[in-house]
Amino acid sequence: MENIRLLKAQTTLDPVSGVNYKINTIFSVSSQGHTHDFMEVFLISKGSIRHLVNGKEQKLAEGDLVFMRPEDTHFFKQYRDSGCELVNLAFNVSLFNEINIFFQPEFSLDAAMKEYLPAIVRLGPAEKKYLYGRMTEGGERLLQNPSDAGVYFKILVAEILSMFKRKKSGDEAARNLPVWMERILMEMKKKENFKKGLSALRKIACRSDEHTSRSFRLYLDTTPTDFINELRIKYAASCLLNSDEKIDFIAIDSGFDNLSHFYHMFKKVYGSSPRKYRLKNRKNAVIV
C-alpha cells in the first residue's frame, strides 16, 4: 500500500458527540489506504467487499461486523462486480477502555486487541436488521442533537462491542454468544429488569423458554433463574455496603419476594448472613 493516510481522532470525530458516523456506498475499484488513532466498527449492510488489512485479505459479506483497532492499516477493493454498503462508527480509545473495564471480570476484549487481524462477527438477517436500525437511528440523532446523540452512541458502542467480547483467557467456554443473548446480559444488568425477573428476560429474549434455557446452559452453564438471582444478590451486597437501608428492604428492592429465600441465596453466595456480611465488610455498619 502506498500513500497511507493517518486519520486522527481530533479532526475525525465530532467534538460534541465524540463519534464519527457514516454510511459508505462503495462501487469503485479501490479505496485509499489509511490507519488511525481511534477505534472503529463497521457493518456490511449490503453486498460484499474485499478488505485488505495489515497485509492480509478478508472477504466480507452482508451481515459481517468488523472491529478495527488503532494502527490497523486497511483499505477496500471491489469484489468482482459487487456493490457494497457499509455503516461505519468511529469512537475514542478512552470510550473503548471504559467499556472494556465495565465488561470485566466476566468478559474481556483484551484478546481481540492482540489478534493480528481485526475480529469479525457474522450477524444473521434479523440481527443485522436490528443493528442497522440502531446505527441509522444514531445517525439521525446526530443531525438533530449531537449532545443527545453522544449518550445514545455510548450505549450503542457498548452493545456493539459486546458482540465481540470473549471470556477471559483460559476459559474453555470462550466463544461468541448469539447477539440476542449478549443483549440479555446487558439489559438484565439494569435494576428495572432484574427486579422484574423472568418476565423481563422473556421480553428481551423474544425466544421460547425452552430455547432460552438451552442457550443459557450451553453458553453460560447456568439457568435463567440462577442468572437473575445472581444479579439480584450482587445488587443486594452492594446496597448492604453502600447504604443504610434495612436488610429486609434491600431484599425486596433487589427483587426477592420471599425473604427466607433471599437469606438462603445470600449465604450460599457469600458464606454468611447479610447482617454478618455488612458488619464484616463495612465500617460504621448499621445495626439492623
Amino acid 122: pLDDT: 86
Which of the four pLDDT bands, split at 50, 70 and 90, describes residue 27?
low
Helix, strand, or coil (residue 238): helix
5-167 domain in CATH 2.60.120.280?
A: yes
pLDDT tens digits, 129-169: 999 999 999 999 999 999 999 999 999 999 999 888 643 33
Among residues 174, 157, 143, which one has the least CA distance to residue 68?
Answer: 157
Mean local confidence (pLDDT), 97-114: 84
pTM above 0.85, yes or no: no
Instruction: Delimit the CATH 2.60.120.280 region(s) of the chain.
Output: 5-167
Of 28 and 149, which is predicted with more confidence?
A: 149
pLDDT tens digits, 107-118: 788 888 888 899
Residue 214 above 50 pLDDT?
yes
For the chain, what percent of residues have pLDDT higher than 90? 57
Look at the block and give the residue holding cell 450451553.
218
Stated length of the chain = 288
Beta strands in the chain (DSSP E): 5-7, 19-26, 34-36, 39-53, 56-61, 64-68, 74-78, 84-91, 107-108, 119-122, 166-167
pLDDT tens digits, 247-269: 999 999 999 999 999 999 998 88
Residue 182 above 90 pLDDT?
no
Specify the CATH number of the domain 179-281: 1.10.10.60
Amino acid 33: pLDDT: 83
Instruction: Delimit the CATH 1.10.10.60 region(s) of the chain.
Output: 179-281
